[in-house]
């Protein structure tokens, strides 16, 4: 079986010149922190850190991918973990966001990342209070000269996941498990539903929001209900809660090696999460290259070109979202069909909506 990745160049190194769509950009606000000079600092004089959302650093998804990007950048540039290098603070709840962001700003990291939509208001407030600090926000937009905003077209990659699910489903019953019902997760839902509909409008997708990103037990019970109703493929966009979806699928596969249960992972390539003995329940994953985005912002900042006041958007055309290698789980004819849709989205022939029709 041919191994392919669609809509996503995994070896991609996005150049600084590919920054898209400056939403309310303020180009005059992009000088180096604490100086009018734009000289490039030595790597040893540069530092970066991030604040996780409630999913945590080991969510095997969004937060973990962001941290892997920061770690990779730090090691590549000879930085050490801790003050003056690279670090993170984990949030146990929403109340921790402001405290953690403020703490890292006071520790004088050159760029402080807020990972996730829920960081929008805390970053907006702290960025105003600390105009000489640089912040980067993933998955939302703050229009401030010392904030670089990063967005993804999750709906595009999720559309491909929907196409694959519709073509691979035997029961023609498919599920979607979301975390909190917020814009970024709604984009996952919208794209997935559109992809399924493009293949077979008669397929109904069972959509369930758990309201949490950190409750694997809740994810497991939600998946149990879906699989028990005949659903054979579940796409999750629920962070740590999605780990429970994998647990339920693996438990069923362990009991019955012939059980037709699959999971489509999210953000990172979650193939390893689906391993059960010599079987694997991961059909594919909708990858979202947060790691690449984190490193690109860091590189720009280290070179004295921090994109404050700008919004960088990554979609299929930019190599920011797409499907991971299915490792043989998806047939070649289905892969070819997925590629057709991917090419049409990249070319602008298909425009995927950001919100599902209710």
Per-residue pLDDT tens for 121-179? 999 999 999 999 999 999 999 999 999 999 999 999 999 999 999 999 999 999 999 99
pLDDT attached to residue 55: 81
188 in Cβ contact with 205 (< 8 Å)? no
Binning pLDDT at 50, 70 and 90, where does residue 44 land?
low
User: Span 177-198, mean pLDDT?
Assistant: 97
pLDDT attached to residue 61: 86
pLDDT attached to residue 31: 32
Q: C-alpha distances in angstroms, 154 versus 161, 187, 254?
A: 11, 6, 32
225 pLDDT higher than 90: yes
Kindly calculate the radius of gyration of the chain based on its CA atoms and give it in whole angstroms. 20
pLDDT attached to residue 56: 85
CATH fourth-level superfamily of 154-288+320-346: Response regulator (3.40.50.2300)
Least confident of 38-42, 184-188, 211-215: 38-42
pLDDT attached to residue 42: 52
User: Span 69-77, mean pLDDT?
Assistant: 97
Note the pTM of the prediction, 2 decimals.
Answer: 0.86
pLDDT digits 0-9 by tens, 319-333: 999 999 999 999 999
User: Span 178-200, mean pLDDT?
Assistant: 97
In the chain, where does the domain assigned CATH 3.40.50.2300 lie? 16-152+289-314, 154-288+320-346
Rounded to 5 degrees, what are φ and ψ at 343? -65, -35
Binning pLDDT at 50, 70 and 90, where does residue 48 land?
very high
358 pLDDT higher than 70: yes
28 pLDDT higher than 80: no
Give me the chain's average pLDDT, please. 89
pLDDT attached to residue 291: 95
The CATH class for the domain spanning 16-152+289-314 reads alpha beta
197 pLDDT higher than 50: yes
């Amino acid at each position: 079986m041919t191994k392919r990745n669609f809509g996503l160049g995994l070896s991609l190194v996005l150049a600084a010149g590919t920054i898209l769509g400056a939403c309310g950009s303020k180009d005059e606000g992009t000088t180096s922190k604490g100086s009018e000079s734009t000289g490039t600092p030595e790597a040893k004089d540069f530092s970066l850190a991030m604040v996780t959302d409630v999913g945590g650093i080991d969510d095997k998804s969004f937060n973990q991918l962001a941290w892997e990007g920061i770690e990779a950048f730090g090691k590549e540039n000879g930085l050490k973990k801790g003050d003056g290098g690279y670090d993170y603070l984990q949030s146990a709840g929403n109340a921790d966001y402001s405290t953690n962001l403020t703490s890292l700003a006071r520790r004088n990291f050159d760029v402080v990342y807020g990972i996730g939509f829920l960081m929008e208001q805390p970053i907006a407030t702290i960025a105003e209070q600390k105009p000489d600090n640089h912040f980067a926000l993933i998955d939302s937009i703050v229009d401030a000269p010392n904030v670089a905003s990063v967005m993804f077209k999750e709906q595009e990659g999720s559309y491909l996941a929907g196409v694959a699910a519709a073509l691979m489903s035997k029961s023609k019953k498919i599920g979607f498990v979301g975390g909190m019902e917020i814009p970024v997760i709604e984009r996952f839902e919208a794209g997935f539903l559109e992809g399924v509909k493009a293949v077979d409008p008669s397929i109904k997708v069972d959509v369930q929001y758990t309201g949490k990103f950190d409750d694997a037990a809740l994810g497991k019970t939600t998946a149990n209900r879906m699989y028990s109703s005949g659903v054979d493929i579940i796409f999750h966009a629920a962070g740590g809660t999605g780990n429970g979806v994998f647990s339920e699928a693996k438990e069923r596969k362990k009991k019955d090696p012939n059980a037709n249960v699959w999971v489509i992972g999210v953000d990172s390539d979650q193939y390893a999460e689906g391993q059960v003995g010599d079987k694997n329940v991961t059909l594919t994953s909708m990858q979202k290259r947060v790691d690449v985005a984190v490193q690109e912002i860091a590189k720009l900042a280290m070179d004295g070109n921090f994109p404050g006041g700008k919004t960088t958007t990554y979609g299929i055309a930019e190599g920011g979202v797409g499907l991971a290698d299915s490792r043989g789980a998806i047939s070649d004819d289905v892969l070819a069909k997925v590629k057709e849709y991917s090419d049409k989205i990249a070319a602008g022939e298909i425009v995927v909506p950001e919100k599902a029709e209710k």
